[in-house]
Structure 1
Amino acid sequence: MRTLECETCCEQSICNSVECQPPSTTTTTTTAAMATTTTLPAAITTSSLWSVWSSWTHCPYSCGHDGIQHRFRHCLDQDPRVCTGNKFDTKICHTRVCCTNPPVITYIDSDQFVFTRSFLVLYCNATNFDTLSWRIPEVVGHSYPVNVNRPAGEPTVVISHITTENEGPYVCTVTNACGTASRVVNVKVLA
């Protein structure tokens, strides 16, 4: 049988250690018939008569709906009337939008070998996407080479008057609620 001191003092399974014996206090209750003195550990309060909360239950939905999760605790006293408060707790669990069709890149140009001062258009076509973006090689001092045009949301990147600064990986990325898909076109500039 567990001791009252251990139930109220110990957080985990370190019961009956020296740290689990708080100093005692004395309370006196007087009735018309008799006076009673009870000795309890000083750390005991009404809220400490409860066990620790259980883990939250799993959200009932993996996607598409908000759900309700529960956790529980029990009264450690033999007389449950001394425990005030709730023995269970609830919260809303928010889930992501359900995924039915992940984004798919259906076409992207193969790696390109181009000469300096030439013109290049890279294509990336996709289905089931909400956003499409290109990440292009950066140049020190610029967010990207100034001769690159990449209109937001468009499946193309246009490079005019190619220089060696345009060399590197060009990454097309499409996203939707299901996730992300990316493909790379490497551009190599020839002299």
Structure 2
Amino acid sequence: MDIYEISKPSNSIEQCNVFEGKWIPDEIYPWYNASQCPFAGSGFNCMANGRGDRGYTKWRWKPRNCEIPRFSAREILEKLRGKRVVFAGDSLSRTQWESLICMLMIGVDDKRSVYEVNGKKITKQKTFGCTPGSVPRRSPKRVKSTLRLDQLDDISREWIDSDDLIFNSGHWWTPTKLFEM
């Protein structure tokens, strides 16, 4: 289990296990309205898709023995200034990226200044992130191909100069996603 150092407002550092805690109500949430954020996928906009209650938006994570500093879009934007952050993974990574962009936009005065670097609409890029391989000997007949998880495909070159890489693939390795050999 990872232990993270969290700065307290007094600038002292304490050990904080962010994985032990509970969800608590917090009226300051949500940080953004998905209907007003052009980067939020329409399929994940619960309110626009008819969810009537709003209570699910009013919760935050509270670690057991410490406080996590409140989110500040302007502070995060300053820390990320000039840096390249890459999200690599599946649809879960995609929605996390969309949510982060929507949260950061609240710290930007001119929302039109948030756009894709190449001047076109930000799009999904479908890749496997690993190298196709041959079927191992003595594999069941239903196995038609494999993926080499120890070798990334050419798309990984796009991650090389990132300052921060958020990589997610955990959802695909749960027992219900794997088959028995």
**Which interval holds the TM-score relative to the shorter structure?**
under 0.3
Kindly name which structure, 1 or 2, has the bigger radius of gyration based on alpha carbons: 1
Q: Report the TM-score, using the length of structure 2 for normalisation.
A: 0.21
Report which structure shows greater RCO (CA 8 Å, sep ≥6).
Answer: 2
